[in-house]
Structure 1
Amino acid sequence: MGWNFDKTGEVILWGGVSGGVALLLQGLGFSFCSWVFIGCWLLSAAAALQLSCIKVSAAGKAVVVTGCDHGIGHALALHLHQQGFRVFAGCLNDAGEGAARLREQQSDRLIVLPMDVTKQEQLIAAVQEVKLQLPEGEVLWGLVNNAAIMARGYVEWVPLQTYKKMIDVNVLGVLAATKAFLPLIRRARGRVVNMSSVSGVIGTGIMSPYTITKYAVEGLSDCLRQEMRQWGVAVCAVEPSNFNAATQLVTAEGVENQALEMWASMPEVVRSDYGKHHFDRIMRLQRESAQGGEKDLTPVLDALTEALTQRFPRARYRVVDTYYFLKVAAAIHLPEWMFDLLYLPQQTFLSMTSRACNPS
């Protein structure tokens, strides 16, 4: 994997630590602090970067990936297979096009499993199949919790049932798959890699159905990382920005179907206050945004691979461009009012304030 913002942040971190050491020495009366700063920064940053290059071998290791029908999961299954892992690719529809393309590899190291993460019986069957298919001396090294679904809409617009479905797949599905495979991974002292998102770090209006599930995945990752440390199991969260052009997690057709469902189920008072014109405008923007995002999944695949293969993995891998790097930093470090001033469109405040004062 090439240079990225994770490495940039690490270099900046060690620069800050080195600067603190230099200031402390200066306060104690030493006069060579600038050289100490430069030396400490170079040595600490080089050591951190060198440690990130130490990898574990894929030989004798298997990985389970959920959500391999298409998108990131499908691409990751093929990528890990090329890296030498035995891959168990969980597909919601094991008779579908995505599963068929995986089987075209005709490899005994790429096994397609039917896996709906919301169905406990399928997870139990998958665990048994993994045990059966693992050759003697091979271990289940990793689980990549990738399966997820997407919905968008204002909190007042989205039916409660949609939230329940999102939580069922994106949160309880992650938890169920983790609990199913964790005994095997724990004995191998392996890895659990949870596919999160920058939406698990930044709350964005109209994204609440997806965002709350990714915040939950972030919390689960932190808790499980602390619990598994005594077993030598690393737990990582991977946080991509917008790669929808490659994953098609959101499609124009899907947005249109969600819009019809939301408007049909919306209470009359909510319809009246927001108005059909405003609703249609927002949903049109969502349909248009379905064509946006990065088209190349390589940075995401690299981050997931590093999480599985680095000898000293990070707790989080942020796969972001400059815009999202700065936005995440602002969300974490700035007061909320300042973040809103920078990133929340002011016309939204104005239009909605006017609408609230003069409901139709």
Structure 2
Amino acid sequence: MELSGEGGEAQGTGDMVLPLLYSAVAVALGGAVLRLLLRQELESGLAAALRLLLALFSQPLCSMAMPGYPGLCLFSLACLLAYSRLPVPQLLPVQGKAILITGCDSGFGHALAKYLDKLGFTVFAGVLYLDGPGAQDLKMCGSDRLTVLQLDVTSSEQIAETFEHVKAQLKNRGLWGIVNNAGVLEFVADAELLPMNIFKHCMAVNFFGAVEVTKIFLPLLRQAKGRLVNVTSVAGVTPLLGFAGYGASKAALNMFSNILRSEIAIWGVKVAIIQPTSFRTGIFGTSDQWSNQHKKLMQYLSPDVRKDYGESYITSCIDNRAKYHDESREDLQTVLDDISLALMAKNPKRVYSPGQAALYLPFLHQYAPTCIFEYVMISLVGSGLNQPDGVKEKGSHQ
């Protein structure tokens, strides 16, 4: 009697554990698939959905055909087989393809020039400072396929000179890709505090520069039926506090890219947008640059605005900018992988969003109630800011 009781208890425990193990296998499969989706490494479609559904719905069949742990092993094997057969992006060959990248002095552009060079592309790396450390590093580390060119995207003359140089080097074989990466952030502060020259500079580099480069080089791109890749930002689709100048310029580039995608599709040219977030690049600047910008900012402010906001609030904007820099990711490989996919995939996606916040922030902005979204923004971006002096004074009188 006692032995029978112990056996029954053991069997009952086994009956409880097996469903949990089946669920764990299903969750593991779902997590692995989600990871592929987030990394843009899965060709989503009917074929992928059917494979996953067949694997998941095979659970009752496996448990009926082979009760106990043999059935669990069979189900695990079915999930593993379904995962291994998921369609991945088809990549085109690299040989003979040439890419123009702007903004290669540092950050994404600098790392991308090295990365694409190692993959075998012919790379034309545009830099703002031809004698700067970034340009010198590319010249030393790059292969003979990598050419460093002087290219200020706000200079029509330099854009035209670069076009003639690239066209001569390609010898009628066309340009496979353009990566409009050059960008500036300038000062991060309330829109009212930013002088007009910052708004104009952001638009000149981030938007008008990319548009002019695109327009000049499109004949070469059409010839190769290649790719246009524009690096924008999550700030271009989500209103981030303090990023009015930068975000507006990136939003303009997003709209330009989306319209152009439809217009030039008939030529066989594909357009992709890269929307990274929270990566540590040279765009944040240095503490010395922040200090100099702070002095210039104070000079531009009218007496009324300076009084209403106060020195402590404006200084906290600098502290917040340092926080963005320190909390951002140093590893840029995720961005490089997405850009290379946009250039090499047979059917590139419309938008690639590397970075953790690049997915949930636009989702919150679009679907969450405004009060919830603004609370999240204040918590993430505005938590390090003091209150303006004018707000403090009003609060004290109420």
Q: Verify: 1:205 aligned to 2:241, yes or no.
A: yes
2:363 matched residue in structure 1: 329
C-alpha separation in 2, matches of 1:71 and 1:5: 22
Q: By how many angstroms is 1:139 displaced?
A: 3.0
* Equivalent pair of 1:192/1:236 in contact (CA under 8 Å): yes
2: CA distance between counterparts of 1:347 and 1:91? 36
Alignment pair present for 1:215 and 2:248: no
- Distance across 1 between alignment mates of 2:325 and 2:134: 21
Bigger relative contact order (CA 8 A; separation at least 6): 1
Alpha-carbon offset, residue 7 of structure 1:
4.2
Q: Does the 8 Å contact 2:104/2:126 carry over to 1?
A: yes
Q: Distance in 2 between matches of 1:359 and 1:127?
A: 61
Question: How far off is 1:283 after superposition?
Answer: 2.2
Alignment of 1:263-278 (within 5 A): 263-278=298-313
Asked if 1:154 corresponds to 2:171, the answer is no
CA contact (8 A) 2:229 2:274 kept: yes
Structure 2 contact 100–178 (Cα < 8 Å) conserved: yes
- Residues 240 and 319 in structure 1, CA contact (< 8 A), matched pair in contact too: yes
Q: Is residue 250 from structure 1 mapped to residue 256 from structure 2 by the alignment?
A: no
Aligned ranges 1:282-297 → 2 under 5 Å: 282-297=317-332
What TM-score comes out, normalization by structure 2 length?
Answer: 0.76
Change (3 A) 1:121 1:59: same
Q: Is the 8 A contact 2:114 2:142 kept in 1?
A: no
User: In structure 1, what is the equivalent of residue 394 of structure 2?
Assistant: 357
Distance 1:339 1:298 in 2: 29
Of 134, 147, 153, 1:117 maps to 153
1:94 match: 130
- The alignment-based identity, stated in percent, is 31
Residue 67 in structure 1 maps to residue 116 in structure 2: no
Of 335, 338, 343, 2:377 maps to: 343
Cα deviations by residue, 1:40-88 (Å, 9 ceiling, x for unpaired): xx9xx989962x4201111111000001111111110111111111000
C-alpha RMSD over aligned residues: 3.2
Give the gaps of 5 or more residues in structure 1: 23-33, 37-41
Deviations 1:92-138 (A, max 9, x none): 111222111111146331111111111111111111101111256x4
Deviation string for 1:158-216 (max 9, x for gaps)?
Answer: 11011111111111000011011111001211000001111112111111111111111
Residues 356 and 60 of structure 1: CA distance in aligned 2, closer, same or farther (over 3 Å): farther
Q: Distance in 1 between matches of 2:294 and 2:170?
A: 45
C-alpha displacement of 1:276 = 1.5
Q: How many residues align?
A: 334
Deviates more, 1:248-257 or 1:164-173: 248-257
* CA-to-aligned-CA distance 1:137-172 (integer Å, 9 cap, x gap): x43100000011112221111110111111111110
Q: Name the SS of the counterpart of 1:254 in structure 2.
A: helix
Aligned partner of 1:304: which letter? I
1:300: Cα distance to partner?
A: 0.6
**Structure 2 residues without counterparts, runs of 5 or longer:** 1-34, 59-78
* Structure 2 residue aligned with 1:144: 179
* CA 1:148–1:359: 2 relative to 1, 3 Å: farther
Normalising by structure 1, report the TM-score. 0.83
SS in 2 for 1:166: helix
Distance change >3 Å, CA 277–CA 350, structure 1 → 2: closer
